[in-house]
Amino acid sequence: MNHPRIPFGFSRRRWAIGVFSAALVWMAPAAWSQSWPAKPIRLVVPFTPGGVTDTSGRLVAEQLAKRLGQQVVVDNRPGASGNIGTQMVAAAEPDGYTLLLGFDGTLVINPHVFPRVGFDPVKDLAPIGKIGDATLILVAHPQFKAKFLREVIDFSKADPHGFSYGTSGTGGTPHIAGELLRQRTGAKLTHIPYKGGGQAMTDVLGGNIPLVYTAVAGASPHVKAGRLHPVAVSSAKRSASLPDVPTFIESGLGDFDISSWVGLLGPARLPKAITDRLNTELQAVLNDPEVREKLSGMGIAATPGTAQQFGDQIRNDLARYEGVVKVAGIKLE
C-alpha cells in the first residue's frame, strides 16, 4: 500500500492537521449551505418602528421566515440617521445570522455628509438583494401659482426670493433630489429641513411653505383628496398609486431619475452559499403578488434582482451623490 509522501520538515502530526484543515476549508461552503439557518436570524433596522423602512422590513422578514424555516427577528437600532445600526451589522460575524435592512440615505448619502459614519458601505457590507424603490414626489399647496415642473423652475427664477421647499431633514434623499433639481436647472430653491416628513407635510398643507419633496406614500392621500397639488414624481416611471402624475423626465428634465430604496445586506465576507440562498428566497418573496401589492401600498415598487446588481447600484449612487453633496455644501455632525 502506497502512503502519501510527507513533505520534508513536517511531522506526521503537523501534516495531518494541515490536510484536515484544508479539507474543512474545501467543505465549508457546502456545509454552510446545508446547515444554515440553524437558529433565528436577526434583521437590524437602523430606524425607529413605524416608518416605511421599518414596515417594509417587517413584511420581508415575515415572508423570509416562512421560506427559511427560521424566525427572522426585526431589531430596531435607530440613531445617527441609520449609522448606528449599520455599524452593528458591519462589525458582526459574517455567519448569516445578522442582516441589515439597508436604506439609500444611510449607505450612499451619509458617507458624504457625515465626517465619520463608522463603516464603508462597499468594503464592510455584502449586498444580498434590493427590495424596492420608494417613489419621491414634489407636491405644492393647491393655491401655489406653479402647477407644473417647468413653472416651478421658471417662476422661481423670476421671483426675487425664489421658492422654499420642505423635506424630512438635511441629507435625506428628498433633500439630495431637491439639490440636484436646483443644480441641474438653476431653479432658485431654498431647502427647509424638518424633523420628519410629517412636520413638512403639516406646513405645506397649512400654506406655510409652498412646496414639499417627499415620498409618494405620505403624500398620496392628500393628493387624492385634493389637499395637495402634485407637480411630478422623480422616478423613471409613473407611480402605481398616482398614475396620472407625470415624471420629471416627462416634464422635460431628461434622465432625472431619483428614488429612495431599501435592500438586504450582510457583513462583508458573508459566505457565497448564504448570499445566494438569501437572494433566491428574497426574489421569491418579491415576486409574490400579495407581497408586491403590500409593498405598493407603502409606496414601494418591488425590484427583484441579483446581489451583483444591488452592489452596482450602491457603488453608482455613492459616486453620483458625492458631487451633489459637495456642490450643495451639505454637512452633518
> Could you read off the pLDDT tens digit of each residue along the chain, which spans 333 residues?
444 454 444 455 554 444 444 444 444 544 545 689 999 999 999 998 888 888 999 999 999 999 999 999 999 999 998 999 999 999 999 999 999 999 999 999 999 999 999 999 999 999 999 999 999 999 999 999 999 999 999 999 999 999 999 998 899 999 999 999 999 999 999 999 998 788 899 999 999 999 999 999 889 999 999 999 999 999 999 998 899 999 999 999 998 999 999 999 999 999 999 999 999 999 999 999 999 999 998 889 999 999 999 999 999 999 999 999 999 999 987
| Chain region(s) in the chain for CATH 3.40.190.150 | 37-134+260-328
Within a 13 Å sphere around the CA of 118, how many CA atoms are in the beta-carbon half? 15
Determine the pLDDT at residue 20.
Answer: 45
CB 175 within 8 A of CB 213: yes
Write the DSSP symbol of residue 144: -
Cα 2 from Cα 145, distance rounded (Å) = 92
Q: Which fold has domain 136-233?
A: D-Maltodextrin-Binding Protein; domain 2 (3.40.190)
Strands 98-103 and 136-140 turn out to be unpaired
Q: What is the signed CA dihedral for 276, 281, 286, 287, rounded to 10 degrees?
A: 100
Q: Which CATH class is domain 37-134+260-328?
A: alpha beta
Q: How far is Cα 193 from Cα 178, in angstroms, rounded to an integer?
A: 11
State the span(s) of the chain assigned CATH 3.40.190.10: 136-233
Cis check for the bond before 37: say yes or no (omega within 30 of 0).
yes
Considering the entire predicted model, what is its pTM?
0.83
Task: Give the DSSP H/E element, type plus range, for residue 147.
Answer: none
pLDDT of 329: 93
